[in-house]
Amino acid sequence: MGRSNHTEIHRNPMIVRGLRLKIEATPPWVIRRKVKSFTKVEGYPVTMLLHDRQIAPDQSTRYTRYVRRLETPQAVQEAERIEFDFDPATQILLIHGISIFRDGELTDHAKLDEIEVIRRAADPDQEIYSGSITALVRLNELRPGDIVDVESSILADDDLFPQHCWFSENLEHSLPVGHQYFSWLSKNHELFKISAPENETHAQYTEEETAWGLQKTWMRESSPALGLPPLLPAGFNPFKKISITSFQSWGEVATEIAELWAQTEKPGNDLPQELAKIQKTYPHSKVELIEALCQFVRDRIRYHPLEVGRLGLIPEDLNTIWERRFGDCKEKTSLLCWLLRESGFDARPALVSLTLRGRVSERLPAPIFEHVVVYLRYDERDYWIDPTLIHRKGSLSKWNSLPFQKALLISKETEGFTEIKQAPPEQDFIRVSESYRFHGNDAFITVRQEFHGAEADEIREGLNSKGKLTLQKIFRKKVKSTRTEAEPTTDLEISDDYQKNIIVLCGEFSAADALSPNPQTGRMICEFTPYSVFEKIHGIDDSDRSLPVGLCHPTEVFHTIELDHPDAKGTVIPKTIINNEFLAFEAGTKNEDTHPTLFYYYRSKAPEVPAKDLHRYRLNLDQIGAVISLVFETNPGRDSKSKPMRQRLNWDEDELEQHNHPLNPQPLKSATGGSAPPLWLFPIGGIVIITVIILILRYAASL
């Protein structure tokens, strides 16, 4: 199917019925397997009686059949929608049957004129469409106990990779499965690489000669549901799986895509003239020329976020992109790479995965990418530029990272992945300062939030797309997350420095009765928690977890809280340092003899905590919880010569590495050994309670 018709399909997807969406009989090479009984497993609303996938690369076809028994009314409600996703630009959907088995009778509901066709959004908030559309069949009057049997095939008919086939199938599921089959049928099995579980308990393997070639089959029966813990890392697949591909290496993937891209470098007549104008404006500064070319593509080519399956890997030709003045990620990248190369720079398109991130390199080689960015090698340094980020500001020196971790350069010289290094410390970060001034029991709070680098880009995008009012609501919500009684007394002030790429948000709040009575002592107390740090930390429970924990990454936060109260002098929290391969945390107090300022620092250093290090991470949470919240208690009659006690940290020496930080230029020494930390600290003029907040776990789900 030609590309010219693809846009029309997305405008009016119903036209695919009868053309790219058909009702047909099961292909003759398919083995139709029996549905066997399987006892209901308590606690699961659906029982998967049969899950059958058969792949025939010689036929360019993928067959799927699943048979489910609906156990509960809730399952009935969810099963009323039968959905089939496919890309009409490169695939034909064949529906073989949609049947309901009830009381010994089988009823087929596969009727072409009753099928709805809708566009499929990959990211509805950004109006990004995946290229796929969904064929929807609604089943009315389902009942608990019904067995729903759905059969379909996807026929690939594109000419981008006609000699290739790739697929991956999970052998474990979140529902109990009676029987699961995965079959691979071909006369040329030597062309494919296969990755399958080595443990024979996961699947029984058989081979059978057929008229269409050798059929290799993996089968599992009576498979229990695999429950998954929360907070798994991005791209992490905990299920045992089988993967098959005809690509022999990632270099082969890059080479074949590079050959397709080379066919699109047709700039026409007008585009070179535009480039000459830009080059003439910046004859002496290469850095300014690079920045100008990036801005040219961002400003002059409107981002049209339409990803179109396999076609999403190959751009239109340069002249077409320039004439129509819009394009998606691959087209904006293609144009910018050409402009940079024509200006003498080493620039290449780079494939990245939005969903798998760095784990894409762990898969078998195949074109399994959803995004394309620009890789620039200049002055012996690597730069990463995403021309779809129209809100990205700052200078070239700060364009050294993107959050995708690994990229496959589209080049015939590529052999493997290129690492996208994370941004260095103090480049993309958030700095929050809160200042509390007390008048009686009421507090008046000044809040300043600074967003630097990529953090500023994100705020700028939200401001331009959703407006100041929405941003003000978010600002207010964050402050109230730890100070519920706070109410804004001024409008949000916003300043945006494009050159330095810093956005500053400022606001004033009042908190009536911020100091409230302590029922045990009769004194007044007020709790302080750095919300910007608190919301970035993922908590985990104490269960025997065997899978890694995903961190909020990349993130770097500085947060200070200044206390202006007559009794605050001498208020401290213990100096605390955590620094290991997956996070850094620091807490302490400055100016404790005048206006004590609590300071907190948190930075994720890796996207996840491996399972082998979870015990350390739990210790990290305990350590952070011991100082993340401070309760200030007034005590006007306190002897001004009293000295505050310091909390001792019960940590092994190797768990607390020394760390120099701009907030504390002198090395901070960790306290080790000793008994459990005391609950009460006695500062000059007041009492401070350091509360051990394991309640981080309570908030983790809301982050």
Residue with tokens 């065997």: 546
DSSP string, 28-53: TT---PPP---PPPTT-SEEEEEEEE
Of the residues 218, 246, 274, the one at which a domain ends: 246
Q: Are 411 and 253 contacting, i.e. CB atoms less than 8 angstroms apart?
A: no
User: Is 216 within the bounds of a domain?
Assistant: yes
User: Is 549 within the bounds of a domain?
Assistant: yes
DSSP, res 634: E
Q: How far apart are CA 362 and CA 376, in angstroms?
A: 25
What pLDDT does 56 receive?
96
574 and 628 fall within a common domain? yes
The residue segments making up the domain with residue 310 are: 252-419
- Distances in Å between the alpha carbon of 200 and those of 48, 158, 220, 357, 563? 22, 37, 10, 30, 63
Residue 235's nearest CA partner among 367, 406, 84, 384 is 406
289 and 408 fall within a common domain? yes
Task: Look at strands 21-23 and 91-102 and give their pairing.
Answer: parallel
241 and 258 fall within a common domain? no
CATH of the domain at 319: 3.10.620.30
What pLDDT does 542 receive?
78
71 and 198 fall within a common domain? yes
629 and 655 fall within a common domain? yes
Question: What pTM value is reported for the model?
Answer: 0.84
Q: Are 120 and 135 contacting, i.e. CB atoms less than 8 angstroms apart?
A: no
Residue 5's nearest CA partner among 127, 154, 133 is 133
The secondary structure of the chain in percent helix, strand, coil, rounded to multiples of 5, reads: 25, 35, 40
Number of domains into which the chain is organized = 3
Which helix (H) or strand (E) element contains residue 74? Answer: helix 73-79
Q: Are 120 and 134 contacting, i.e. CB atoms less than 8 angstroms apart?
A: yes
Helices (H), 228-387: 250-262, 270-281, 286-300, 318-324, 329-342
Per-residue model confidence as pLDDT tens digits over 73-130 = 989 988 899 999 988 888 999 999 999 999 888 888 888 888 888 875 544 444 444 4
DSSP, res 358: G
What pLDDT does 310 receive?
63
263 and 362 fall within a common domain? yes
What pLDDT does 6 receive?
55
108 and 193 fall within a common domain? yes
412 and 332 fall within a common domain? yes
Q: Which residues of the chain have pLDDT under 70?
A: 1-14, 120-131, 199-201, 306-311, 636-703
Of the residues 389, 419, 449, the one at which a domain ends: 419
User: Is 474 within the bounds of a domain?
Assistant: no
User: Is 63 within the bounds of a domain?
Assistant: yes
Quote the radius of gyration of the chain (alpha carbons, Å): 30
413 and 434 fall within a common domain? no
User: Is 261 within the bounds of a domain?
Assistant: yes
Q: How far apart are CA 254 and CA 367, in angstroms?
A: 9
375 and 304 fall within a common domain? yes
User: Is 461 within the bounds of a domain?
Assistant: no
143-179: b (≥16 Cβ within 10 Å) or e:
eeebbbbbbbbbbbeeebbeebbbbebbbbbebbbbb
Residue with tokens 């364009």: 399
Whether omega before 566 lies within 30 degrees of 0, making that bond cis, reads no
63 and 192 fall within a common domain? yes
> What is the residue type of 424?
P
User: Is 365 within the bounds of a domain?
Assistant: yes
Listed in sequence order, the residues at least 6 apart from 634 whose beta carbon sits closer than 8 Å to its beta carbon are 515, 523, 524, 525, 565, 567, 686
Of the residues 214, 246, 278, the one at which a domain ends: 246
User: Is 309 within the bounds of a domain?
Assistant: yes
| Burial class of 567 by CB neighbour count within 10 A (0 to 12, 13 to 18, 19+) | buried
DSSP string, 101-149: EETTEEEE---GGG-EEEEEEEEGGGTEEEEEEEEEEE--S--TT-EEE
Residue 533's nearest CA partner among 405, 428, 627 is 627
CATH of the domain at 223: 2.60.40.3140
What pLDDT does 7 receive?
55
Q: What angle do CA 525, 526, 529 make, to 5 degrees?
A: 145
589 and 686 fall within a common domain? yes
